[in-house]
Every structure is written in C-alpha cells, then in structure tokens.
C-alpha cells in the first residue's frame, strides 16, 4: 500500500505570494508542497504526503465565500486525495474563517476526512469547532512546529479511520460531544484533591472549565449631557459610499475614521454598509439606522446634547478576531481621549 495522499489549503501569506496587498488572490492549485506543507510531510514520514496545495487570498475568500468555496472544493476533488489539511491559521481571523469554511465543506460535501488548526480566540474556532476537528495552536506562526506536531498525527488517525480519543488525548478543541467512561477515582475524591492543590497554591486542572469573560467597570455617569461632546463608533460597517478604505465584509483587518462635521443626515447616495453578516438593504437605504447621526443632530438642536465629535469610527464585527477588535478599541479610545470626547455611543447590528 502506498502513502496516504493529502491536499493542503493555505492562504496567500503562507504561500509566500504576499501579505495584505495580495489578500485578493484568487484560488490556485499547485502540485506538491508549498510553504508549511514541508513541515507536514516531514511529520508524516513514510505514511503520507501532500500531493497538492490549494491557495486562496483571505480577502478574496471572505468576500466571495460561495463561489470561492465551490472553486476550492473542485480543485481538491480533482486531486483524488484521501484527506485534507487546512492551515494552520493561528490567530488570523479571515484565514481561520476560510479554513473552517473549507474544512466543513470538504467534510459535508466531499465526504473526506479533514483537520485544521487555529488559536482558541480565532473567530473560526467558535464557528466550526463543533463541525470539524480543530487543533488548538499558539496565536502566531512562531507556533508552527507545535501546530504540526498536533495536526499531523490527528490527520493520520482520521484518514485511517482509527478511533479518535478525547480532545485532550488527540489534541483537538472540545466539540460538544460527551462520551461515558470510568474514572479510577470517584468524583468526591477527585474534587477534594483539586481543592487541596488549590489551597496549597499548586497547579491543578479542572474537569469542567468555565468560560472566561472580560469584566469592564462601568464609567461614571455624564453629569451634564447638554454640554457633552458625543462620539459615534460602530461595528455595523457604515462607510462612505464606495467603501474608500476597503474594509472587509468579514474578519475585518482595519477600521475607518471618517469626517462627519456638518453632516446632518446619512443618505442613500452618500453612505452604505460594508458588513457581510446581515441584510444590508435597510442600512444602505438609511445608514442612520445603524449610525444615528440624524437623531444626534436633532438632540443637539434641542439642547439635549452639547456636540457631535467630527469623526466617527467604524469596522465590521462579522467574524473579526477578538484580538483585532481589542486592538482597534485601544487605538480608537486613545484618539477619543485626545480629542476630549465625553462619551461614546457604540452601535452594532
């Protein structure tokens, strides 16, 4: 029996085509190994090999999801592989969503075994961890060796049809499936052991990890709204007509800052939404529905609000990585502080 055959899906960056300036790169298939595929081939040894690599730019994929997925699936199908590997995507949001989308489509439409990998906070992880095997990785490409060490053995087991163990045993993200098994010690005994370790400051591992949420202390109330400067910030993707900064419809890699000094109303002729996660019709007809410039201006006339900040800030929340959103918030927040803004109205979709 010959080596098992894999097709590898990667983005334009890992194919060494280019960075953000080449993110619109259309799908392409190349025979053999490209970029990180070499590390997978080494990890496979004599058991398997990558016979082809499918490449697609992150922006191209996320802006043309249906057509791009169909094209990529056709490229994979033509190679007659035994399995597929996507990524790893680490903490790159658009890349993670693309890897998850391709992996799920490969499994559901082609019926092929597939494995991908990404950082736990990548939006693609939450979207697809219950659909396909996703190995947790570090948050940057510096963790490539560790990622391959996890992904390659799991990919081989999946393709061979071997029994997959727990997420801890086989290094994939928990996927919501529960399996009954017998522990050597009863629950009460294990709980006491964990408590003793905790009380003594020793390391312990919970059997039921709880989700972790940011705790944000509420700001002080505005005492005098009639003299306050208010700024508008949105994750609803409202942009000037034509989207001059090309903010992506999903997994945004940037935010926009736009001057609205003297603007009383966001009209259909002047503004639109770049967001790809909701029906844009009503937002495009009247962008004030997402970014309420008209109402703010009315309140200013009535003396309810002091003034509207001359700039509004906007990005797309659809699939955008938590790390990216945090970065944008820090930058925008500092600008608002520097401009002596008193309060912010933050809108979403």
Quick check: 319 pLDDT over 70?
yes
Categorize the per-residue pLDDT at 163 as very low, low, confident or very high, splitting at 50, 70 and 90: very high
Backbone angles phi, psi at 72, to 5 degrees: -65, -40
Residues above pLDDT 90, as percent of the chain: 78
Residues sharing a CB contact under 8 Å with residue 208, sequence separation 6 or more, in sequence order? none
- Helices assigned H by DSSP within the chain: 37-44, 58-63, 65-78, 93-105, 123-128, 144-160, 167-170, 187-199, 281-285, 293-301, 322-338
Please give the pLDDT value at position 237: 96
Q: What is the mean pLDDT of residues 36-62?
A: 96
275-293 pLDDT, tens digit per residue, is: 988 899 999 999 999 999 9
SS percent in the chain: helix, strand, coil, step 5: 35, 20, 45
User: Do 271 and 240 touch, CB atoms closer than 8 A?
Assistant: yes
CA gap 64, 298 in Å, rounded = 39
**Strand ranges for 152-286 from DSSP E:** 229-234, 238-240, 256-259, 271-273
73-83 pLDDT, tens digit per residue, is: 999 999 999 99
User: Do 101 and 65 touch, CB atoms closer than 8 A?
Assistant: yes
74-128 pLDDT, tens digit per residue, is: 999 999 999 999 999 999 888 999 999 999 999 999 999 999 999 998 989 988 9
Three-state DSSP class for residue 40: helix
User: Do 232 and 345 touch, CB atoms closer than 8 A?
Assistant: yes
pLDDT, the chain, mean: 93
Distances, alpha carbon 297 to alpha carbons 241, 304, 324, in Å: 21, 10, 31
Quick check: 194 pLDDT over 80?
yes
CB-based burial, 67-79: b 16+ in 10 Å, e otherwise: ebbebbbebbeeb
Please give the pLDDT value at position 100: 96
DSSP state of 280: -
Quick check: 215 pLDDT over 90?
no
Q: What is the mean pLDDT of residues 38-50?
A: 96
Categorize the per-residue pLDDT at 1 as very low, low, confident or very high, splitting at 50, 70 and 90: low
Q: What is the mean pLDDT of residues 172-176?
A: 89
């Amino acid at each position: 029996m010959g080596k098992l055959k894999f097709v590898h899906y990667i983005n334009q960056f890992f194919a060494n085509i280019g960075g953000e300036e080449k993110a619109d790169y259309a799908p392409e298939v190349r025979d053999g190994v490209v970029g990180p595929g070499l590390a997978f081939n080494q990890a496979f040894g004599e058991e398997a090999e990558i016979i082809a690599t499918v490449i697609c730019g992150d922006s191209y994929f996320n802006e043309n999801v249906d057509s791009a997925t169909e094209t990529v699936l056709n490229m994979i199908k033509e190679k007659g592989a035994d399995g597929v590997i996507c990524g790893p995507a680490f903490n790159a949001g658009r890349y993670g969503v693309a890897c998850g989308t391709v992996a799920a489509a490969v499994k559901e439409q082609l019926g092929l075994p597939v494995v991908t990998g990404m950082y736990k906070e990548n939006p693609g992880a939450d979207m697809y961890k219950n659909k396909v095997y996703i190995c947790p990785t570090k948050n940057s490409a510096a963790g490539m060796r560790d990622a391959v060490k996890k992904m390659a053995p799991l990919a081989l087991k999946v393709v061979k049809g071997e029994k997959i163990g727990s997420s801890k045993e086989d290094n994939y993200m928990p996927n919501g499936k529960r399996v009954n098994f017998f522990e050597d010690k009863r629950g009460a005994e294990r709980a006491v052991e964990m408590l003793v370790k905790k009380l003594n400051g020793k390391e312990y591992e919970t059997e039921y990890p709880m989700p972790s949420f940011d705790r944000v202390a509420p700001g002080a109330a505005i005492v005098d709204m009639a003299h306050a400067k208010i700024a508008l910030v949105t994750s609803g993707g409202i942009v000037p007509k034509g989207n001059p900064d090309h903010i992506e419809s999903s997994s945004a890699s940037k935010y926009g800052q736009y001057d609205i000094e003297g603007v009383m109303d966001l009209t259909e002729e002047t503004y639109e939404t770049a967001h790809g996660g909701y029906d844009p019709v009503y937002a495009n007809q009247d962008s004030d529905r997402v970014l309420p410039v008209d109402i703010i201006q009315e309140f200013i006339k009535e003396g309810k609000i002091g003034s509207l900040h001359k700039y509004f800030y906007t990005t797309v929340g659809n699939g955008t990585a938590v790390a990216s959103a945090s970065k944008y918030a820090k930058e925008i927040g500092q600008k608002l502080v520097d401009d002596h803004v008193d309060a912010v109205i933050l809108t979403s979709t």
